[in-house]
Amino acid sequence: MNNLIEQAAIWLRSKECLEGTIFSRTRLLLNNFRSYIKSNQAELEVVTGERYSVLADHVNQCWMMVESLLTSYLRGNHSSAYDKIYGFISDMSMSPLDKGTRFYKGREPESHFLFSKDKMFHIPFDKRSKVGNQRFSISGTPCLYLGGSSYICWEELNRVDFSSCNFCGYLNKVTISLFDLALPPSIRSLEDIRRVSLILACSLKADRNALFKEEYILPQSILLALIKRTLYSHKLFGVRYISSHFLDGDADFFQCDYNEPIWISRYYNYVFPAAASLHNGYNESLRDLFIQTETTAMERESLLKPERLVSGDSNEAYLDSQFGLMDAIIDERLGVRSLRRETALVKRSTV
């Protein structure tokens, strides 16, 4: 069976998936997925315990839900749109995000002074007006956004000056409930059929300069539905997904090994909503879930420890890059073992 992440990247980068209406592009993606299921019918019927007709029907149900949701939303009937996605995901499972997972956060600098820990957390409640709409971001609702590597954080910031870009690390102290929208490399269950259909529909490339992005309607609706789902339990949760910058080919600095979980994890994005009706400050319950490092930047590290700018010795392009070095610096401050190996510097003796 072909790697599903690699297949999805091919579909999403095709000319047909980059042009046309949100309806035609979504339908094309899901048709491609249905064809993928058909091509691997024998294996998938064994894995899921269901016949092809049932698997294909799950894809069809997702398409009908998305089509109806988009139609309602674009007509201005937002409440109906949210009801449709809430019903669709209400019985989908949450996954445990294991304690000790490492995360990275990047932020474009405002000066040559580093941001404080607070300013590298979510936007405070008294500054909700600064929270705009992104793929998994709702205007006015602060969220903590983290990445699986400093590199994907930098890509999400649209490739700002790396030397001055501010970074810090996070490590979760407890297991966190996660709604996983990261594409799996293969189908493992019947629920995966529904989940992958939903993920594909959330992954279409959007025009970065557009004020309103139709491609964000579905993922934003999912986030709202998840907030509603956990509203009365007050349970904090996160959403994980593979960066669209990677899937649509914009994150092209490295040759990715689609079959290597460590490679894929570097392209993960995480969203932790700080949903609360507070008027100022931060969600301290969310803060308590994590260990957070102090902020740093490569220009600061190069001034304090210039010897570390020498190329690494890990025999892997990512680990030996400046992104790999930034990850390693943050890992050390989180108290976890870095995968990067440093080049040994030999001092010449003077006569």
DSSP 8-state symbol, 312: B
Question: Residue 292 in 3-state DSSP?
Answer: strand
Let me know the angle formed at the C-alpha of 180 by 127 and 9, rounded to the nearest 5 degrees: 100
Nearest-CA neighbor of 225 among 318, 89, 326, 322?
Answer: 89
CA 299 to each of CA 31, 113, 161, 163: distance values in angstroms, whole numbers, following the listed order: 48, 11, 10, 5
The count of other CB atoms within 10 Å of the CB of residue 252 is: 10
CB 265 within 8 A of CB 122: no
Q: Are strands 166-172 and 290-292 parallel, antiparallel or unpaired?
A: antiparallel
Question: Residue 237 in 3-state DSSP?
Answer: strand
CB 336 within 8 A of CB 171: yes
- Alpha-carbon distance of 301 to 303, in angstroms, equals 5
Phi, psi (5° rounding) for residue 267?
Answer: -105, 10
Q: What is the DSSP annotation of 19-83?
A: SS-HHHHHHHHHHHHHHHHHHTHHHHHHHHSS-HHHHHHHHHHHHHHHHHHHHHHHTT-HHHHHH
CB 175 within 8 A of CB 261: no
Question: Residue 273 in 3-state DSSP?
Answer: strand
- Alpha-carbon distance of 180 to 231, in angstroms, equals 19
Which residues lie across from 170 on neighbouring strands? 103, 292
Phi, psi (5° rounding) for residue 105?
Answer: -130, 135
| Helices 217-229/52-74 angle, 10° precision | 100
Per-residue pLDDT of the chain (351 residues; tens, 9 = 90+): 899 999 999 999 999 999 999 999 999 999 999 999 999 999 999 999 999 999 999 999 999 999 999 999 999 999 999 999 999 998 899 999 999 999 999 999 998 899 999 999 999 988 887 887 788 888 888 999 999 999 999 999 999 999 999 999 999 999 999 999 999 999 999 999 999 999 999 999 999 888 899 999 999 999 999 998 887 666 889 999 999 999 999 999 999 999 999 999 999 999 999 977 677 899 999 999 999 999 999 999 999 988 777 777 888 999 999 999 999 999 999 999 999 988 765 344 444
The span from the first CA to the last CA of the chain, in angstroms, equals 64
CB 154 within 8 A of CB 321: no
CB 148 within 8 A of CB 265: yes
In the structure encoding, which two tokens stand for residue 134, read together?
């992104």
Q: What is the pTM of this model?
A: 0.94
Phi, psi (5° rounding) for residue 85?
Answer: -75, -35
Buried (b) or exposed (e) across 126-161, using 16+ Cβ within 10 A? Answer: eeeeebebbbbbbeebbbbbbbbbbbbbbbbbeeee
- Alpha-carbon distance of 332 to 301, in angstroms, equals 13
Let me know the angle formed at the C-alpha of 136 by 135 and 140, rounded to the nearest 5 degrees: 105
Q: So what's the pLDDT on residue 234?
A: 66
- Alpha-carbon distance of 315 to 292, in angstroms, equals 29
One-letter amino acid at 88 equals F
